[in-house]
Amino acid sequence: MLKRNITCLIQSFFKKTNLCLNRKDSGQTLLIILLVAAVILTIGLAVASYSITNIKISQQEEESARVFSAAEAGIEEALRLGGLPEGGTITVGEITANVTEQIQGESSIFNFAGDKFESGELANIWLIGHDVDGGLDPSTYFPANGTVTVCWGDSTDTSGDDTPALELALLYQDSGSFKVARGAYDPKDRGNAFELADDIDGGNCGNLAFAKDVNLGADLGIPGGAIPYTLRLRLLYNSSANSLAVSASSNLPKQGKCYESTASIVESGVTRKVRQCQFFQSPPEIFDYVLFSGGNLSK
């Protein structure tokens, strides 16, 4: 009976007639019509929902790309100008990016803006000031008898061979000549003639594993009248990038700037943030090895 009713319903649909239906079958036919309509409606709603979701995702991806481009444009403009754009904003199309500036240095603690360093990678800290054009300004410098606590390492575990040690090179000017003083420090005794670190229990410069207090005069032997120029740090032995930071006995000179650009679309709430740091340029690594060293070398 049900099969006949379905066949009759299909024939009625195409022939625009319902002559094959009798009063007895009409209730079943109505139920079938409702079930078929419900299935079609469910499928239609599912397809519509899927299409709307895809449209929203595509729209969000497009807006995200536009907002990110606007935030990048804010960074590029700040780097081009060497400072904030007028009003601290830049508009790309209908999207406005707000750019802020954070001075790096000019305090007693410096952590390279959170960067991490591979083994042998150079980390440079300026101990002499810079003028507004980025040139060296010898009228301002860190004292030759000052102390710098160098901190490094993300884990206090010293059981592995990849426990990071630290090599330090201080470039300074003495009686018109540039010289270099060196030091090397290790949290574990590897028989490499490095000095042992002072602290290996963590919490150094905030949250780093190891630390060494270095007095520029007493420990590195530079004369009292010398002008320290730059402190060059390298991690050794580490198999992955680790953090570096310094805590000094007085404020360090300015090291550069970090710019942060934020752009958003209010209607959709899509927001993107880009951060870029620009430190003062430092001498190439080979420069450390062409200067006279006043003390013993540790290799």
- List beta partners, residue 8: none
Q: Amino acid identity, residue 85?
A: P
In the chain, % of residues over pLDDT 70 = 88
Q: Which two tokens stand for residue 184?
A: 């090397």
Residue 23 pLDDT: 56
Digit-coded pLDDT (tens) for 220-269:
999 988 999 999 999 999 999 999 999 999 999 999 999 999 999 887 78
Do 181 and 172 touch, CB atoms closer than 8 A? Answer: yes
Contact indicator for 161, 240 with CB cutoff of 8 Å: no
In whole angstroms, give the CA distance from residue 18 to residue 25. Answer: 11
CA-closest candidate to residue 166, choices 179, 183, 154: 183
Residue 235 near residue 166, CB atoms below 8 Å: yes
Report the predicted TM-score, pTM, of the whole model to 2 decimal places. Answer: 0.75
With a cut of 50, which residues of the chain have pLDDT below it? 2, 14, 16, 297-299
Under a CB-based contact definition with an 8 Å cutoff, are residues 171 and 291 in contact? yes
pLDDT digits (tens, 9 = 90+) for 24-48: 566 677 788 888 888 888 888 888 7
**Dist. CA 199–CA 42, nearest whole Å:** 68
Amino acid at residue number 256:
G
CA distance 134 to 149: 26
| Average pLDDT taken over every residue of the chain | 86
Q: Which of 176, 146, 120 has the alpha carbon at shortest distance from 253?
A: 146
How far apart are the C-alpha atoms of 131 and 139, rounded to whole Å? 10
CA angle 188, 212, 120 (to 5 degrees): 70
Q: Cα(75)–Cα(90) distance, rounded to whole angstroms?
A: 10
